[in-house]
Amino acid sequence: MNKARRKAIGDVIKTLEKMQADWDDACAAVETIRDEEREAYDNMPEGTKSGEKGEAADAAANVLDEVHGTMMEIDIADLIGKLNEAQGEG
């Protein structure tokens, strides 16, 4: 790999390293919101659960669970390692 491409990969690595903490915070926030929404749904009276409010809370918790799962599949540290490998440093 030539010097220019190695530097370009280095720049991407720096960007990903900056993103890592924000990504972790975002994953934790989605998880917290999901848990709170699920708890709110679980604590609703049975009649409310089957109504519009309950169905909306359940649907929101399910979507948040899906989003969180997808977010957790993205491993920024692994991407950084693979980019280091591509540079010949891994």
Domain edges within the chain: 3-87
pLDDT at 6: 94
pLDDT bucket at 90, cuts 50 / 70 / 90: low
Cα–Cα distance measured from residue 5 to residue 19, given in angstroms and rounded to the nearest whole number: 21
Burial label for 71, CB within 10 Å (0-12, 13-18, 19+), is: middle
Tokens of 29: 């926030």
Which percentage of the chain shows pLDDT scores above 90? Answer: 92
Cα 26 from chain centre: 6
pLDDT at 36: 97
Residue 59 has pLDDT above 60, yes or no: yes
Q: What is the pTM of this model?
A: 0.79
pLDDT averaged over every residue in the chain? 94
How many CB atoms sit inside 10 A of residue 88's CB?
9
Residue 17 has pLDDT above 80, yes or no: yes
